Amino acid sequence: MTDSVTKSDGNRIPVRVAIVTSIHPDFDARIWKHALLLASSGVQVDLICPWDVPNLSVQNGITFHPFKKVASRGLRPFLIPLRVIPRLLKIIRDVDIVHFHDIDLLPMMALFSLGKTVVYDVHENYAEEMLVRDWIPRYLRKPLAFSVKWGQFILSSVIRNIVLVAPSQEHAFSAKHFRKIYLYNYASLALLDGVADNYLQRDDIVVFIGSQHLNNGSLLLLDIVEETIKRVPSVRFRSTDRFSNPKFKEYFLSEVSRRGLGDHIELMPNVKPHELMTVLNEATIGISPNLRVAQQINGIHTKVFEYMAAGIPMVISDLPHQVGVIEESGGGILAAPENPAEFAVAIEKLTKDKLLALEMGRQGQKGFCEHHSYESQQQHLLSYYRQILN
């Protein structure tokens, strides 16, 4: 059995941490960054996940305990516990902390927290998400939001240890009995290893690496493409092939065809997080056209920091958090999501003044290294672990 190390001042330091995720895809950026951060700090990490990796294989000091993915939403509440619990029980006595990442694990983890230090990593404003998820019938959205809000509060109150990703989540965990920190979903410094130094030789390519759904600006992106090619016909757009559902993808592609944009925008196959720089190294501008809706205003969008790490200038929606990033770093241009022409004018400016674009990209990269890397939060997380162990 592994025991937590006790320093001379009595502070316990975690030696072994189990990270548990139930639905995140293989090598999801948030989960993998968390695991790597702990492993690089000397913590032994066990990762229980629905990933396609060999059982008990080890990568970067992280031991995998995979289970078969549950595709059906309706079956997740029943099958995921049956697959996670046996793997967690094998190591539960030897780990100091169980840190889990998905709300569907919350009931199970509330029970485990009665005998073990457990941390709930809250990725989203889940109750508010129930109001906008297109797979939920409209008549069920408010009842589900109410149930998620109070169910999460009650079960989280048993666990008490909470990690948040954005200040907008504070209202759901404002009670004094919660022990919480913020661990922002910044990009990893590891991205810098793959940055290419050939910006001025690249073709004019605007890249969007976010998920494709309405609030994330997928249809606004098509409006921006239309406005941009009127000004700079040579500009090409590349966008991820990662849609919220097949029906929306079908509609998106029909709009591309209807508007005659097939020669100006292409969909890119998904790449793993550690391969992301191969995509960004071919781009000259990163775009983030998030709509001005609560879901987007409250979020902190990782793609912005990935653009900064790549050293490419950004054209992004003037949402409050993104305004702060641009004002602090000077790494791009803000545009109103209500006005696609503002994005197009900014793109035109950056394509016609490559030296300005290069300098903006460098400023953004500097701001990323100094303030917005995931690794900059390492000591904050380790201090939190020590606090809750005591």
Alpha-carbon span 165 to 122, nearest angstrom: 7
The domain of 229 spans: 189-371
Could you tell me if 182 and 195 lie in one domain?
no
For residue 187, give the amino acid letter: A
pLDDT of residue 9: 47
Q: State how far the Cα of 296 lies from the Cα of 338, in Å rounded to an integer.
A: 14
pLDDT digits (tens, 9 = 90+) for 134-179: 778 888 899 888 998 999 999 999 999 999 998 888 989 999 999 9
Query: Are 129 and 255 found together in one domain?
Result: no
* 137 and 39 in a common domain: yes
- Total residues belonging to the chain: 390
Task: Map tokens 């239309």 to a residue.
Answer: 226
Same structural domain for residues 124 and 88? yes
* pTM to 2 decimal places: 0.79
**CB distance 85 to 22 below 8 Å:** no
Task: Tell me which residue of 68, 61, 64 sits closest to 53, measured CA to CA.
Answer: 64
Q: Which of 184-198, 270-284, 340-354 has the highest mean pLDDT?
A: 340-354
* Residues 259 and 132 both lie in one domain: no
* DSSP state at residue 92: G
> pLDDT tens across 66-124, in order?
999 998 888 888 999 999 999 999 999 999 999 999 999 999 999 999 999 999 999 88
Domain identity same for 320 and 384: no
Say which CATH number the domain at 70 has. Answer: 3.40.50.2000
Asked whether residue 381 falls in the same domain as residue 364, the answer is no
Q: Could you give the CA distance from residue 1 to residue 91 in angstroms, rounded to a whole number?
A: 9
What are the beta bridge partners of residue 311? Answer: none
What six digits make up the tokens of 33?
A: 């960054």
- Specify the residue for token string 């109001």: 131
Whether residue 206 is found in the same domain as residue 324: yes
Residues 182, 193, single domain; the answer is no
Q: How confident is the model at residue 245 (pLDDT cuts 50, 70, 90)?
A: confident
Indicate if 276 and 162 belong to the same structural domain.
Answer: no
